[in-house]
Amino acid sequence: MPHATSFPQAGRQEIELNDRFTFECSEKCMGNCCRLITILLDPWDIEVMSRYLKLPGTEFLDLFCSYDFGTTSHWPFVWLKHAEKGCCAFMLPDGKCSIYPARPRNCRTYPVGRAVKIEAAGEVPRLTERLFLMVEKNRPCLGHDGERVWTVKEWLAAADAFKYYELSDLYLALVHYASETLNCRAWLTPNTARILMPLLFTPDLLRKKLGIGEEVMDHETFYRRRLKATRVILTEMAASFGFGPLAGQDSADQEMSLATRLRQLILPDA
């Protein structure tokens, strides 16, 4: 999964939105959940964090992230590099988070986890989800000993998780479509996949390339439209290799540059 979070030896207790649980972060263990952990990032995570830090997307990736391409799908995936090997780069000396308002989706929802299965990867994906409460066996987390009682729905709402879930699901649907409908594992190579990096992870660079400023389109709209555009571009790429719904069809846009095609897709009325 390109945006799962790895919690070593975590126990999982399945829960529903109206279930109650007790959790309150403790000063005694603050920051223990922010070290030696693999936190994979969605495009929206990266965009929000880089904007919060006022960094270009490419600089944010260079400073704080590692990325690779799946061994079978060759799909690009990104994770926080410092947290994987030690302390998260954003952890303050007291264990608190220096980018707390912009923290990634999986950080903001912990200890509630979510597993998603895509049933149909359309523009509005149809999916089933499972929520679970994570109990770390190897981490001295004292949060469950606190006195604050939450419903799962209250916890996720306080973390603004539902918006993150919605935008993450759009990305997950795109990955599912590329894998299952376009069979990207058969034709997508790491070199080809690099074309996707600006579309997914450096929207500021893409805006500059296409001449679409923030006054023209807000961040969330640009996110939604560029994912839709990525879906079209992938479909057209797959067809050139003989895969997907357009395989065997002539494309009228074969001579169009990628930048022109993207602008046409993102700003169809321009």
Per-run averaged pLDDT (10 residues), the chain, 270 residues: 40 87 89 90 97 97 94 89 95 95 95 88 78 75 87 96 95 92 92 90 95 96 96 94 87 72 87
Question: What are the C-alpha distances in Å from 180 to residues 90, 211, 243?
Answer: 36, 33, 11
Alpha-carbon torsion, ordered 116, 6, 83, 134, to 10 deg = 80
* pLDDT on residue 262: 93
As a whole number of angstroms, the distance between CA 142 and CA 26 comes to 6
Residue 169 CA, distance from chain mean position: 9
Q: Note the pTM of the prediction, 2 decimals.
A: 0.89
- Cα angle vertex 59, ends 42, 225, to 5°? 40
* pLDDT on residue 7: 36
Which 3 state secondary structure label does DSSP give 5? Answer: strand
